Structure 1
Amino acid sequence: MSTTGSLDDHTTTNSVQLDQLDTAKTLPKERPDIEAATPRSLDDDTPDGGLRAWCATLGGALISFCTFGYASSFGVYQDYYVLAGTSTSSNISWIGSLQLMLLFFVGLPAGRLFDAGYLHSLLFIGSILFVFCIFMLSLADPTKYYQILLAQGIGMGVGGGFMLVPALSLQGHYWKKHRSMALGLVVCGSGSGGIVYPIMLNRLISGSDAVGFAWGVRASGFLTLGLLTIAQLIMRTRMPGPKQRSKQEKPSVVAVLMDPPFVLTVFGVFLVYWGLFMPYFYLQLWLNLHGLNPTLAFYTLAILNAGSIPGRVIPNMLADRFGALNAAIPVSLIMGALVFVMFGVTNTPAIIIFSILYGFFSGAYIALVPSVLAVLASRTEELGIRMGLGYFFVSFAMLTGTPIDGALLGQGSVLYWPKPIVFSGVVMIVGTGFTCVGRHFLVRVKGTQWT
């Protein structure tokens, strides 16, 4: 070796040679190429603030506004398609539930690609597909079930799925102490979208300012296009590029699936989501069929989502202090109990109070789930795969929950409301129990009650 020859030129004693060789062993650690082979974890320097962090949160809120906010407004379409004779109530609900399901089902591949550093590619492809399918929906015939299913159920679901889970996962790269708060603000965007889209669609499709189904849907498409463009421009990733990322240890899917706290907690979340969206899909129909004020029916979803906005912020701020699971468990229990209150919601004041309360607690739970999945991750570099896997399984609850409610409800003039109400309430309470068991195992692993 040249190093040995250099040492022989300076000294001939064995002790000096050993000293020089010991020194030489430490030199490669300071070389840039060796440092690049062992990159630092993102946990080492999480900024917890700054312009880029707040831009990531704002961009994530805009994506949540356009994707989850639009999907949670499906009650407007549900009511319109039922009255237009598109299909049965149960069949129509499959469109909205499929959109919700794909929104998170696609989170598994999207989460893995996000962890590999492909944030901007995911946002670009997802935005193009999502907006394109909104405009295709505006051209669809409302009496042709398959056209609506393709555009709204499949196309918008896949497009939104490419964006939503990466937008949630990105917050973990910029926030640590206030991660739950940031995630709450991002999911708060879906609550805002759930206010704007139902009012816009109701008024433009069948309200006093009606321009028809086609132009009402197109107006929502133009709004979505502008907001997603802004999100694209302001969001940046801290993840190393694919070459640097390939030198790091990749998260193991098998290891995640063998983790008892993760499996039990995700199953609990699955059960809660199985019943969560019943009021979002059927409350407007409930009002119309019970002869309540039609104007109030127009704004029911907006009231639900308006109530969800403080619910998506306040509990998440408490979660930063007391733990995400400690906040999510009582919220899901109260939400399950509230579903049974629907038996007495038969007048205008009761509808308004129920909508505000259910909106608050359902919004809180939806916002806390990303924080819960983040708590289950052992390091920042596996946030994408944990959230992707978690939402992948939960997506099946979103797919089947509301169609089961529709089948239990029945069709035509014979609708039996107790069946979907009892089903939704029971599965949410049982899901809370499984979440408690998952928390128990997580406390044993982490050794702290603040989870």
Structure 2
Amino acid sequence: MASQTASLSSYELRNMADASMNSPVVSHTQENVAENNEIEVPSLPPTDHGKAAYLVLLGCTVLQAPIWAYSLSFGVFQAYYTTQHPLTGSPSTLATIGTTLNGVIYLSMPLTFTLLTRYPLLRRYCAPLGLLLTIISLLLSSYATSIWHLILTQGVLNALGSGLLFAPTSLYLSEWFVHRKGMAYGVIWAGKSAAGVAFPFLTTYFLNTYGAPKTLRIWCIASTILTLPLLFVLKPRLPLPTSRSPRPLSFAFLKNPTFWTLQIGNVIQSFGYLLPSAYLPSYAHDLGLPNLTGAILVALFSLASTPGGIVHGILCDRSSPTLIILLSSLGSALAVFVFWGLATESPLPLLVVFALVYGFFAGGFSSTYPGVEKELKSQDEELDTGLVMGCLLGGRGVGYVVSGPVSGGLLGVWKAGGSWGGGNEYGGVVLVTGITAVLGGWGWGWKYGRKVFC
């Protein structure tokens, strides 16, 4: 197609106008937008398809490995530090490293996305700074002798670097994919899930072969080699403004009940999302299954999340996000209550089915975020979607952080009668996982219930 016709937000127009004040094409375009909000911009590469768009998508997908691989593999490091590489400090505080890591990454997203939306020029410096911080964190952690060293380097510094790598590339992806944004985000989340399948096994091999210090240094070198070329590939579609003036932002969406309805469901779903991957290994062990079973089940969970993210993203491009969120929630709940809850008589086959079904449906939940943006954008054309994405990721972080300390208290709280829930101390974990999965989709009931009764 020689030119691309697309509906652009006022944000894009301001960006183009600032970068090309004397361009007759842009001036004529802006006049057209004032009339019908649709423009034809032959000077810009097309959205949603084309070599340039797919190259950015590929780069964003590959970049998920260095961004998330350490957090996805931390359980392996935790087991190694506990048994073979003792550190100064209480072993019970090792879990704080992983909780801090995931919490800082996600909870920093609202601030990072807001700053990069208000000051777009910062985007060009953000990813290189993130890479530098991750390199420093991995190098310093390889010399750690105390647990508090790892909390600072891996839990805080590495998380800040990973967040700075993710935020600008995510904003670039939103410029390249407009009508197929759900598909695009589904692909990059699939990249994260694929890393969750491979890296725990790779980490186990390197730790057993070389030990923690050398493994972290190898990881540092590999991350640099993988990430550095991608920084030259990941470029914005829209020209960055030449002005250093802050861009005005609208937070009107925070007054929109639709946003808070979907955000509450997002936080609730996030609370229960990680419980299976945290407790499946010990649950399988208590049922008498081999120790390797737990690692395989977690890998199957990540493996099923790969197509799950893509499918849910594509569906969100074509349908209402509340409907797709409901699909994700009900599919997840069904897997929990039926396959995990009844995994006693034939535990291994049912747990395998549970990991695959739950991974597919629950793993696709975050791919609905572009659909939430689209829903809110239809109600407010001036909406900055980057702010919404940052808030949704922050909400996910809230669920993760609260889940960490609370989930330990669920063990032994309620033992299911009969064979459901294993008939053991995990009954409370299974029940809460299922309930949070159901409540994650409550936005559908709120939306259509309001139409009926209001």
What is the TM-score with the length of structure 1 in the denominator?
0.79
Q: Does 1:421 align with 2:430?
A: yes
What amino acid sits opposite 2:271 in the alignment? Answer: W
2:151 corresponds to which of 149, 152, 170: 149
Kept in 1, the 8 Å contact 2:331–2:357? The answer is: no
Structure 1 window deviating more from structure 2 (98-107 vs 424-433): it is 424-433
Give the helix-richer structure, 1 or 2: 1
Alpha-carbon RMSD: 3.4
Q: 2: distance between equivalents of 1:111 and 1:39?
A: 28
- Indicate the residue corresponding to 2:267 in structure 1: 270
Are the structure 2 counterparts of residues 172 and 96 from structure 1 closer, same or farther at C-alpha, using a change threshold of 3 Å?
same
Q: 1: distance between equivalents of 2:38 and 2:148?
A: 47
Q: 2: distance between equivalents of 1:275 and 1:229?
A: 35
Q: How does 1:27-426 map to 2 (within 5 A)?
A: 32=22, 40=30, 44=39, 47-81=47-81, 83=83, 91-115=93-117, 116-117=119-120, 118-141=122-145, 144-206=146-208, 210-244=209-243, 246=245, 250-253=248-251, 255-340=252-337, 341-345=339-343, 347-377=347-377, 378-379=380-381, 382-409=384-411, 416-426=425-435
Q: CA deviation at 1:438?
A: 5.5
What amino acid sits opposite 1:212 in the alignment? Answer: G
Are the structure 2 counterparts of residues 428 and 128 from structure 1 closer, same or farther at C-alpha, using a change threshold of 3 Å?
same
Q: CA deviation at 1:230?
A: 2.7
Kept in 2, the 8 Å contact 1:48–1:176? The answer is: yes
Kept in 1, the 8 Å contact 2:306–2:363? The answer is: yes
Q: 2: distance between equivalents of 1:436 and 1:201?
A: 43
Are the structure 2 counterparts of residues 297 and 423 from structure 1 closer, same or farther at C-alpha, using a change threshold of 3 Å?
closer
**Residues 330-382 of structure 1: CA deviation (Å, up to 9, x unaligned):** 11222134334434335333332222222212221132234434543345871
What amino acid sits opposite 1:317 in the alignment? Answer: I
* Structure 1: segments with no counterpart, 5+ residues: 1-30, 445-451
Q: 1: distance between equivalents of 2:357 and 2:194?
A: 16
Q: 2: distance between equivalents of 1:274 and 1:384?
A: 23
Kept in 2, the 8 Å contact 1:309–1:360? The answer is: yes
Kept in 2, the 8 Å contact 1:305–1:359? The answer is: yes
Partner of 2:237, secondary structure, is coil
Are the structure 2 counterparts of residues 245 and 269 from structure 1 closer, same or farther at C-alpha, using a change threshold of 3 Å?
farther
**Residues 304-351 of structure 1: CA deviation (Å, up to 9, x unaligned):** 211111111122222222233321221122213433443433533333
What amino acid sits opposite 2:267 in the alignment? Answer: F
Are the structure 2 counterparts of residues 311 and 282 from structure 1 closer, same or farther at C-alpha, using a change threshold of 3 Å?
same
Are the structure 2 counterparts of residues 367 and 435 from structure 1 closer, same or farther at C-alpha, using a change threshold of 3 Å?
same
Q: Does 1:431 align with 2:440?
A: yes
- Indicate the residue corresponding to 2:419 in structure 1: none
Relative contact order higher in (CA < 8 Å, ≥ 6 apart): 1
Kept in 2, the 8 Å contact 1:91–1:403? The answer is: no
**Residues 272-304 of structure 1: CA deviation (Å, up to 9, x unaligned):** 001101122232333344442233334333222
Are the structure 2 counterparts of residues 240 and 278 from structure 1 closer, same or farther at C-alpha, using a change threshold of 3 Å?
same
Q: CA deviation at 1:251?
A: 2.4
- Indicate the residue corresponding to 2:417 in structure 1: none
Larger Rg: 1 or 2? 1
What amino acid sits opposite 2:254 in the alignment? Answer: L
- Indicate the residue corresponding to 1:7 in structure 2: none
Q: What fraction of aligned residue pairs are identical, expressed as a percent?
A: 21
Q: CA deviation at 1:33?
A: 8.4
What is the TM-score with the length of structure 2 in the denominator?
0.78
Partner of 2:188, secondary structure, is helix
Kept in 2, the 8 Å contact 1:135–1:221? The answer is: yes
Q: 2: distance between equivalents of 1:239 and 1:311?
A: 30
What amino acid sits opposite 1:334 in the alignment? Answer: G
Partner of 1:140, secondary structure, is coil
Structure 1 window deviating more from structure 2 (197-206 vs 341-350): it is 341-350
Kept in 2, the 8 Å contact 1:134–1:217? The answer is: yes
Kept in 2, the 8 Å contact 1:188–1:367? The answer is: no
Kept in 1, the 8 Å contact 2:57–2:184? The answer is: yes
Aligned length, in residue pairs: 404
Are the structure 2 counterparts of residues 178 and 327 from structure 1 closer, same or farther at C-alpha, using a change threshold of 3 Å?
same
Partner of 2:65, secondary structure, is helix
Q: 1: distance between equivalents of 2:427 and 2:396?
A: 25
Q: 2: distance between equivalents of 1:393 and 1:297?
A: 28
Are the structure 2 counterparts of residues 136 and 344 from structure 1 closer, same or farther at C-alpha, using a change threshold of 3 Å?
farther
Kept in 1, the 8 Å contact 2:253–2:376? The answer is: no
Are the structure 2 counterparts of residues 247 and 124 from structure 1 closer, same or farther at C-alpha, using a change threshold of 3 Å?
closer
Are the structure 2 counterparts of residues 96 and 380 from structure 1 closer, same or farther at C-alpha, using a change threshold of 3 Å?
farther
Are the structure 2 counterparts of residues 335 and 89 from structure 1 closer, same or farther at C-alpha, using a change threshold of 3 Å?
farther
What amino acid sits opposite 2:136 in the alignment? Answer: F
**Residues 63-94 of structure 1: CA deviation (Å, up to 9, x unaligned):** 22222343233332344455467788874433
**Residues 215-254 of structure 1: CA deviation (Å, up to 9, x unaligned):** 2333333332222213211001134434458486x2223x
Kept in 2, the 8 Å contact 1:37–1:244? The answer is: no
